[in-house]
Amino acid sequence: MTTQNKITINNPFKNAATKFTRFVAPVIIVGLLSVNTARAQDRAITLNEAIKLGQQNSKVLKLSQARIDEAVTEYNLAKDGGKLSGKASYGYNRAEIPANKLQFGKTTFALPTSADAYLGTLSLSQVIFGGNRLKYAEQSTTLLTQVARLDADKDKDQITYDIINSYYNLYKVLQSKKVVNQNLATVDQQIKQSQRFFDQGLVTKNDVLRFQLQRANIELNGIDLETNRKIINYNLDVLLGLPESTQLTISEVNEPERTLGALSSYIDTALTNRNEVKSLDLRTRVAETNIKTIKANTLPTLAASGSAYYVDVNPNPIPKSGSYITPISVGLTLGWNFDALWKNKNKIAQAKVQREEVVINKDIEIDNVKRDVNQNYQNYLMALDKIRLLQTSIAQAGENNKILESKYQSNIASATDRADAETLLYQAQINLELAKADAGLAYYTLINSIGKLNK
C-alpha cells in the first residue's frame, strides 16, 4: 500500500508566470501591433496611381512652378517700366545766419539771423517714346515666360517617365524573384531525391553536391535581386512622396494591344511636340528681340513731365497768405544718346552671333530627336518580336511538360526530368511577363520621345 503525502511547495515559476502576464505580455501585444503596422505599410499600387502621386508630390515640379512664377514676375516688372512715374516730398529746413550783413559800397543789406522754410514737391513723368525699348522688353519677357512653361512641361514628362521606368523595373524584379523561389523549390526536391538515391547507393556524392551547389548559386541570385528590389522600391517611394519604409507590390502589368504607325509619322510628331524644339524656337525669337532692343538704343526718347512746388517761409507750418509760393512747371524732354550710333555696332554683331548659335543648336537638337525616336521605335519593334517568340517558346515548353509528365507517370522519365520540364515552362511564362513589361516600358519610352507622354 502506497501512502501519498500531499506536500505544499512554494512554486517560484508561478510568480514568474504572473510577472510574465503582467509585464511581458503587454510588450508582446505591442510588438504584434507593431508588426501589423509594418505590414500595413505594404501597398499595392497601379501605374496610374503612381504617376498621379509622383506628380502631386514632386519637388522638381514645385521648383518648375516657382520658375514660372518668377518669369511672370519679370514680365510684370517689364510692364511697370512703361507706367506713369510719380514722386512727392515735403520737408522742413531751418537756417541760422550768424553773419547776416552784406555791404555793397554805401549800401548795407541785412538778412534775418534765422529763417524757416517748408518745401514740398510733386512731380509726374511719362515716357511717350522710348525707342521701343519697353515694347521689346515686354516681348522678351513674354517669350521667356513661355520658355519657363515649356521647361516645366519637360520636367513633368521626365518625372512621369522616371516613375514609369521605376515601376516597370520593380515589377520585373518581383517577377524574377518568383523564378528564384520556383527554382529553389525545384532544386530542393532534386536534393531530397538525390540524397535518397545516394543513401540507396544509386548515385554518387558528387551528384548530391552538384544540386547543393546549384541551390547556393540560385540563393546568390536571389540576394542580388532582393538588393535591387530594395533600391528600386526606396527610390520609387521617394519619387512618389511616400514613407521610405513603404513596401510596394505590383500584382500584374496589363499591356493592351497597340497599333504601331510608320516611323516617319512618329518623327514628325516629335518635331512638332518636343519641348526642346519648341523652347529653341522661342529662344530664337528672344535672340531676335534682343537685336531689336540693341538697335532701339540708337533712337531718341521723348518724355513728358510736370512738377509742382510749395515753398513756405513762415515758421508756422500752417500756410498763411503771402508767406508761400507754388510754382508749377510742365515740359517735354527730347533726349538722344547719339554715341550709340557707333557704340552699338559690335553689340549688334554679338547679338546676331548669339542668335546664330541658337539656330545651330536647334538643328543639332532636331538631329538628336530623330535619332532618339528611331532608336526607341526599333526597340519597341524588337520587344514585340520577343513577345511573339516567347509565346512560341511557351507552347513548346508546355508540350514538353505534357510529354515528360506522361513519361513520368509511365516510369520512363525521372522525377528530375519531370521537375526540369516544369521549371522550363514556368521560366518561359515568367520570361513572357518580363518581355511584356519590357514592351510596355519601350512603348512609354517611344511616346516620351515624341513629346506625348502627358498628352
The reply to whether 267 falls in a domain is yes
Mean predicted confidence (pLDDT) in 277-299:
90
The reply to whether 272 falls in a domain is yes
Give me the pLDDT at residue 40, please.
42
Highest mean pLDDT among 21-35, 105-119, 143-157: 143-157
Mean predicted confidence (pLDDT) in 318-343:
83
- What is the Cα–Cα distance from 22 to 33, expressed in whole angstroms? 18
SS3 273: helix
The reply to whether 11 falls in a domain is no
**112 compared with 14, residue with greater pLDDT:** 112
Q: Residue 350's closest CA among 279, 281, 283, 290? A: 290
**Which alpha helices (DSSP H) does 297-414 contain, by range?**
340-409
With b meaning 16 or more CB within 10 Å and e meaning fewer, what string describes 218-243?
beebbeebeebbeebbeebbebbebe
Give me the pLDDT at residue 3, please.
41
Residues with Cβ within 8 Å of residue 366, at least 6 apart in sequence: 271, 277
Give me the residue label for grid cell 545651330: 360
Mean predicted confidence (pLDDT) in 233-245:
91
The reply to whether 20 falls in a domain is no
Instruction: List 328's β-bridge partners, or say none.
Output: 308
Confidence of residue 415 (pLDDT cuts 50, 70, 90): low
**194 compared with 398, residue with greater pLDDT:** 398
Evaluate if residue 137 carries a pLDDT over 70: yes
**282 compared with 182, residue with greater pLDDT:** 282
Mean predicted confidence (pLDDT) in 27-42:
45
Evaluate if residue 447 carries a pLDDT over 90: yes
Evaluate if residue 226 carries a pLDDT over 80: yes
Domain encompassing residue 362: 42-83+130-300+339-449
Of the chain, the percentage scoring pLDDT greater than 70 comes to: 90
The reply to whether 310 falls in a domain is no
Confidence of residue 302 (pLDDT cuts 50, 70, 90): confident
pLDDT tens sequence across 313-328:
777 777 777 778 888 8
Evaluate if residue 37 carries a pLDDT over 80: no
Hey, what's the cell of 98?
A: 550768424
The reply to whether 96 falls in a domain is no
Evaluate if residue 363 carries a pLDDT over 70: yes
Q: Residue 428's closest CA among 392, 455, 453, 454? A: 392
The reply to whether 205 falls in a domain is yes
Of the chain, the percentage scoring pLDDT greater than 90 comes to: 31
CA angle 393, 435, 450 (to 5 degrees): 140
Provide Rg for the chain, Cα atoms.
42
Evaluate if residue 353 carries a pLDDT over 80: yes
Evaluate if residue 404 carries a pLDDT over 50: yes
The reply to whether 378 falls in a domain is yes
Mean predicted confidence (pLDDT) in 264-281:
94
How many structural domains compose the chain? Answer: 1
Give me the pLDDT at residue 12, please.
38
Evaluate if residue 367 carries a pLDDT over 50: yes
Mean predicted confidence (pLDDT) in 11-28:
38
The CATH number of the domain where 377 resides is what? 1.20.1600.10
Give me the pLDDT at residue 207, please.
74
Claim: this prediction has a pTM higher than 0.95: no
